[in-house]
Structure 1
Amino acid sequence: MYDSRTLSRKRIAVTDFSFEISEISPVERDIKVSAPEAMFAERSQALFDKLAASAPVKGFRAGKAPRHLVEKMYRARVLKDVQAELMEDGFREAIVRHDLRPVSRPQWKPREYAGQGDFIFSFVVQVLYDLKNVVIDGLTVERERVLVPDDVVDAELERRRQAAAVTKTVEGRSVVADKDWVRVSFEGKMDGEPVAGGKHDNELVEIGSNQFVPGFEEALIGRSAGEACSFTVTFPDDFRVEKLRRKDVVFDCTIHEICERVVPALDDEFAKDMGDYADLAQYRIAVREELEKFETERSKRSFRKRLWQKLVEANSFPLPPVLVDEETRDVAQRRLSEIARYGLNPETLGLKPEEFMAHAREEAENTLRAVLLREKLAEEYGVAVSDAEREAHIQKMAEEMNVELAKVTEYYSAKERLDELDHVLKHDKVSLILEEKVNVVEVDPKPAEPEHDHDHDHDHEHSHEHDSLDAATAPKLILDPNAPLDPPKPEGEKR
């Protein structure tokens, strides 16, 4: 340990660190750091100065103990604290000086230091891959034309007419017959245990619609309103939930009432009831415009999804494992939350845990590559988000949601939410650049894929924006060099 009388009065700067960096893999670095002996000594003496002024030493008042006693008594503590301080400073200096983009905290290697000579320590850190070029040339992406034929408008009008129907209790008849609407509550059990997603209260069932598992609707025929009953249904061989295939499920059911649906006529009066429309012809025009707007947005989302999928497929590069693991957990949690809303889990959907996590990992890797490609392209083409663009987007959101502008502005006053908004706007601008550079092939619309396969139909309002690589929100990719680090272990101690 240096004696304070031999120290130079010149402050030793953190830039006096020296580094040796080895590449373990394209996304992992082994970094050896050397701190000059004089730097260690200066930090030590500064800490001893503080301790000498206040640290308790037996037999002396605070601040009155001889310096050599303070140094002898607190030497081990100072040695440990200065090592930890220099290791954190060395890590941060390595990031800045060598333009590293760490995504993990440093994994410190065991070290020994007795207070003499240069202080040398090492750590391993995962970093983002240094993406040099993004392959765009030669990519071909299909874009669906926006077509709304008359039969689609007719179908939408009929859907709205059916949705406007009112349900009334049937008077003078209590026995369930084919084509009836019946309000029931039920719970399914297999081997005495409740079936996930098999309990519903006050469910409206149309007998003969085949919306439920085969045999369920037929079992209600001939029963009476107010009756509580039990019946067994054998699930079919091809049922989507593997564990229920060919299984007998007992349904405990209460029939509340027999109903009839009164559907309004598709005429001018119906149109007037639907809004400020003079007649059915005017309402039909409005419905077509709504469908065209919807199809335009759907075509855009579908095109963007294919665009980013093609880009990711054409640009494969390694990802830091710690980043993939974290994003995989996030994806898995989102998927579990989604299916839990329907009382389901991976097992009931016939997915083994390892299969479920494999799907989540694949989605996580694709998302991360899309985000990194977007950031690289944004840098390459100088894409930035201005205050005016943020304000315009917030104004548009307020108008579309019919919410006061001040409330939306306040929502985005938090930095993390403003960052999310910037991700959305940047993603949109980069996507527009890509659209101009790829080969776009116009094709006729493809049949829409069902979003979920439920036992029966319900109206579900939920967003699937994150299902595609067009999702503009981004995981946090780079470790903040100013964030608190895990404290380095004492000398010689393994992590």
Structure 2
Amino acid sequence: MSTSIDTPETAESPQLQLDVQVNTTQACVREVVVTIPSAEVQRYLKEAYDELVPEAQVPGFRSGRAPRRLVEKQFKDRVVEQVKGKLLMDSLTQVTDSESFSAISEPDFDYNSIPEPGDGDFTYQFTIEVRPDFDTPEWKGLELKKPTENIDEEAITEALDRVLRDRANWEATEEPAAAGDRVVVNIVFTEGGKTVSKLEEELVTVADKLSFTDGLCSEFGKDVIGKKEGDKVTTKVELSNTEDDEEKRELSAEVTLVEVQKLESVELTSELLDELGDFESEEELRGFIKESLERQSEYRIQQHIRREVSNLLSDAVNFELPEDLVRRQTYREIQRRILELQRSGFDQTQIRGIANALQQNARASTESALREHFVLEQIAEEEKIDATPEDFEAEIMLISQQNGVNPRKTRSRLEKSGQMDALRNQIVERKVIDMIVENAKVTEEDMSGEMDDSNGQSYPVEFSILGTRNDAAIPEAKYEDNSVPEANSDKDKE
């Protein structure tokens, strides 16, 4: 499919006259050919020389007094390069701001391979990822099941015990390891008799499973429980699928127990209450924990409903997602989920466990999240739903409270790491889900104890067995001067 984009002029800001051909190669990819007529090229060159001549310094002439022909000859290379960048930047801005498509990434092309502007037309081409075109599915009147959870005193006590365990004293022992104990381990990962990687002196809690960013040891607890300091056990680790693996890979892990630690009793003193957050009493601390558990429950309910809504809506849309898009968005999707978990009251161990699970199934979870995002974002645009400054402040406050950090520092960190767009998407998508639920036929179902996805039976370790970096999916800047990506930097919001 090929379309042409008209780019009208305005009195306030004259625009380039362009011929733009857009070819649809995939649902989320456009190949774009841009042709700038010779007259426009000459206009840009003339404007550049008009600006340069009055200030040009040419040997043998006073500043600004050199003949124009001499100035044009001496500064030609510099001016042509400058005009090339300006033509690209201005034309890209017009193309990507048009209503023909909604760009979700920077244009992909080799700046240096584009010929310099001369006497004729100036033509270049690029590919760009865009939001797919599809008819908005009918979202009113969906039949949904909304789970409910009861946060009782027993749940609060269990959560308090987990908090106290993190502050308790742990003593080394010669006794065998039991479930819930801590062990310091060295692990050597091998495949076919060859060492793949090593993890040294890692402190972990003995749980049924041990999860890594790219693998899962499903029988860790069974193989380690009953072993003492100095013992060695061999267990298996299943690596998560990668694009190059048709089948799951299984590695061998030799675990050496360097130390076994048992929990000593911990008393909830006034000093510990102060350390935990300046609480005046156990009752106040339990109230805070209850609020955190309620936010966690709200998050799980939201995720359950979101999956239900997405499954119903996805049946009505069908588009392919490019491999590069899925690969690049993986890191951003994980960061988005981490932001949601932080504002929802989950502790760092729970967050790390969910993040590990996401990375182990990165492609499937990212592809699902992208489909959801495109559908929800289109509904948001049609219903004019967006994030307000007050929404941002509320989210930042929740994240700050959970992490015990000043809100200004949280905002600064989010801005510097480029996560404000992820925060905006999170807010908008939640609003859309709420609107869909309000217009749905909802039946409630008690699912207390059945919805916890924080991997309580698995202890997460922030370690990649294959040595892959978590940020490998983030593309590096292709153009040192940033002149080309700058024109579309505000589009990369997906």
TM-score by length of 2: 0.58
Distance in 1, Cα, partners of 2:419 & 2:183:
44
Distance in 2, Cα, partners of 1:58 & 1:85:
28
Aligned to 1:466: none
Question: What aligned pairs does 1:126-141 form with structure 2 within 5 A after superposition?
Answer: 126=128, 127-136=130-139, 139-141=142-144
Question: Relative to structure 1, is the Cα distance of residues 253 and 311 closer, same or farther in structure 2, using a 3 angstrom cutoff?
Answer: same
Number of residues of Structure 1 aligned to a counterpart in Structure 2: 405
Question: Relative to structure 1, is the Cα distance of residues 439 and 51 closer, same or farther in structure 2, using a 3 angstrom cutoff?
Answer: same
Question: Relative to structure 1, is the Cα distance of residues 262 and 426 closer, same or farther in structure 2, using a 3 angstrom cutoff?
Answer: closer
- Secondary structure (helix, strand or coil) at the match of 2:124 reads strand
Deviates more, 1:417-426 or 1:126-135: 417-426
Question: What aligned pairs does 1:342-491 form with structure 2 within 5 A after superposition?
Answer: 359-387=361-389, 422-445=424-447, 447-448=450-451, 451-452=454-455, 484-485=483-484
Distance in 2, Cα, partners of 1:371 & 1:396:
23
- State the 1:380 CA deviation: 1.4
- State the 1:60 CA deviation: 4.3
Question: Relative to structure 1, is the Cα distance of residues 159 and 261 closer, same or farther in structure 2, using a 3 angstrom cutoff?
Answer: farther
- Secondary structure (helix, strand or coil) at the match of 2:15 reads helix
Aligned to 2:37: 35
**Aligned residues of 1:185 and 1:200 also touching (Cα < 8 A):** yes
TM-score by length of 1: 0.58
Distance in 2, Cα, partners of 1:451 & 1:322:
29
Question: Relative to structure 1, is the Cα distance of residues 321 and 63 closer, same or farther in structure 2, using a 3 angstrom cutoff?
Answer: farther
**Aligned residues of 1:131 and 1:376 also touching (Cα < 8 A):** no
Q: Which of 148, 151, 162 pairs up with 1:145?
A: 148
Question: What aligned pairs does 1:31-430 form with structure 2 within 5 A after superposition?
Answer: 31-35=33-37, 37=39, 39-57=40-58, 59-75=60-76, 77-96=78-97, 99-102=100-103, 103-105=105-107, 107=109, 114-115=118-119, 119-126=121-128, 127-136=130-139, 139-147=142-150, 157=157, 176=175, 185-188=184-187, 196-197=198-199, 199-200=201-202, 213-214=221-222, 216-220=224-228, 229=230, 231-235=231-235, 243=250, 249=254, 251=256, 253=258, 295=297, 298-319=300-321, 323-330=325-332, 359-387=361-389, 422-430=424-432
- Secondary structure (helix, strand or coil) at the match of 2:306 reads helix
**Aligned residues of 2:183 and 2:257 also touching (Cα < 8 A):** no
Distance in 2, Cα, partners of 1:285 & 1:73:
76
- Bigger Rg, which one: 1
Amino acid at match of 2:102: R
Distance in 1, Cα, partners of 2:407 & 2:57:
60
Question: Relative to structure 1, is the Cα distance of residues 243 and 80 closer, same or farther in structure 2, using a 3 angstrom cutoff?
Answer: closer
Question: Relative to structure 1, is the Cα distance of residues 56 and 138 closer, same or farther in structure 2, using a 3 angstrom cutoff?
Answer: same
Aligned to 1:23: 23
**Aligned residues of 2:148 and 2:446 also touching (Cα < 8 A):** yes
**Aligned residues of 2:179 and 2:206 also touching (Cα < 8 A):** no
Amino acid at match of 2:119: G
Distance in 2, Cα, partners of 1:192 & 1:372:
44
Question: Relative to structure 1, is the Cα distance of residues 416 and 320 closer, same or farther in structure 2, using a 3 angstrom cutoff?
Answer: same
**Aligned residues of 1:16 and 1:36 also touching (Cα < 8 A):** no
Distance in 2, Cα, partners of 1:289 & 1:487:
43
What is the aligned-residue identity percentage?
19
Aligned to 1:6: none
Amino acid at match of 2:319: F
Distance in 2, Cα, partners of 1:180 & 1:387:
47
- State the 1:327 CA deviation: 0.8
Question: Relative to structure 1, is the Cα distance of residues 234 and 430 closer, same or farther in structure 2, using a 3 angstrom cutoff?
Answer: closer
Distance in 1, Cα, partners of 2:454 & 2:159:
19
Amino acid at match of 2:381: E
Question: Relative to structure 1, is the Cα distance of residues 379 and 287 closer, same or farther in structure 2, using a 3 angstrom cutoff?
Answer: closer
Distance in 2, Cα, partners of 1:18 & 1:193:
58
- State the 1:435 CA deviation: 0.9
Distance in 1, Cα, partners of 2:81 & 2:291:
72
Distance in 1, Cα, partners of 2:86 & 2:281:
71
Distance in 2, Cα, partners of 1:263 & 1:71:
81
- State the 1:17 CA deviation: 0.5
- State the 1:147 CA deviation: 4.8
- State the 1:28 CA deviation: 0.4
Aligned to 1:4: none
- Secondary structure (helix, strand or coil) at the match of 1:15 reads coil
**Aligned residues of 2:185 and 2:255 also touching (Cα < 8 A):** no
Question: Relative to structure 1, is the Cα distance of residues 138 and 321 closer, same or farther in structure 2, using a 3 angstrom cutoff?
Answer: farther
**Aligned residues of 2:24 and 2:30 also touching (Cα < 8 A):** yes
**Aligned residues of 1:213 and 1:235 also touching (Cα < 8 A):** no
**Aligned residues of 1:141 and 1:439 also touching (Cα < 8 A):** yes
Distance in 2, Cα, partners of 1:407 & 1:162:
27
- Secondary structure (helix, strand or coil) at the match of 2:256 reads strand
- Secondary structure (helix, strand or coil) at the match of 1:383 reads coil
- State the 1:414 CA deviation: 8.9
Distance in 2, Cα, partners of 1:294 & 1:140:
24
CA offsets 1:25-78 (integer angstroms, 9 cap, x no match): 3430423333352x4334333333444444454554544433333344445554
Amino acid at match of 2:19: F
- Secondary structure (helix, strand or coil) at the match of 1:142 reads strand
Deviates more, 1:316-325 or 1:28-37: 316-325
Distance in 2, Cα, partners of 1:435 & 1:163:
34
Unaligned 5+ segments in structure 2 are 1-10, 208-218, 240-248, 268-278, 338-347, 463-473, 476-481, 488-494
Question: Relative to structure 1, is the Cα distance of residues 306 and 185 closer, same or farther in structure 2, using a 3 angstrom cutoff?
Answer: same
Question: Relative to structure 1, is the Cα distance of residues 383 and 97 closer, same or farther in structure 2, using a 3 angstrom cutoff?
Answer: closer
